[in-house]
Amino acid sequence: MSFSDNHGLGSRILGIDPGLQITGYGVIEGSSSGPKVCEAGVIRTNDDTEASDLAQRIRSLHEGVLEVIDQFHPQAVAVEQLYAHYEHPRTAILMGHARGVIFLAAALRDLPVVSYNATRIKKSITGNGRASKDQVQRTIQRELGLANLPEPSDVADALAVALCHYYQLKMPKAIAE
């Protein structure tokens, strides 16, 4: 059975909220009782003066993403799309570097990568494309049966993008029934 044929059951999805200093990640697995969290956390790049240059941050992020992939063996990677605000083009460029490193890590492990924009993620998770961060965190907590709100928000965002992809995989099954 291929990844796309099992509608998310038994499959692992790595969700990533990209950043050059803090990258949130969340690994979820589909089961007959719904999605379950395997692991969630952050990848922090070194903040000391020696490692603060862009090349070292990118290397650190790349190594961190590969470590998560190699430990949890996801079948797909879901990444939040880049949102570029015209008043902050430098931020968009830097985030592009982070996304490129994540895509490279996935490609090196032959994993498919899907991207979702923030509005689509929020709509699929909460039903409201303009949901607040708090609403997203509370919905993630409820949907994944977590005892506490996922913290920091980078982790909640990573779990949200993974859950969004999980729901996209399940959609064909719901339509067929």
Q: Which residues are catalytic?
A: 17, 80, 154
Q: Which of 17, 18, 12, 153 is nearest to 95 (CA)?
A: 18
Helices (H), the chain: 54-72, 89-108, 118-126, 133-143, 153-176
Cβ 15 vs Cβ 35: under 8 Å: no
Tokens representing residue 175 in the block: 């339509």
Comparing C-alpha atoms, which of 70, 73, 92, 72 is closest to residue 83?
Answer: 92
DSSP symbol at 151: S
Query: Which two structure tokens, joined as six digits, stand for 161?
Result: 């993008």
Q: b vs e for 47-77, b when ≥16 Cβ sit within 10 Å of the residue's Cβ?
A: eeeeeeeeeebbebbbebbbebbeebebbbb
Query: How many CB atoms are located within 10 Å of the residue 103 CB?
Result: 18
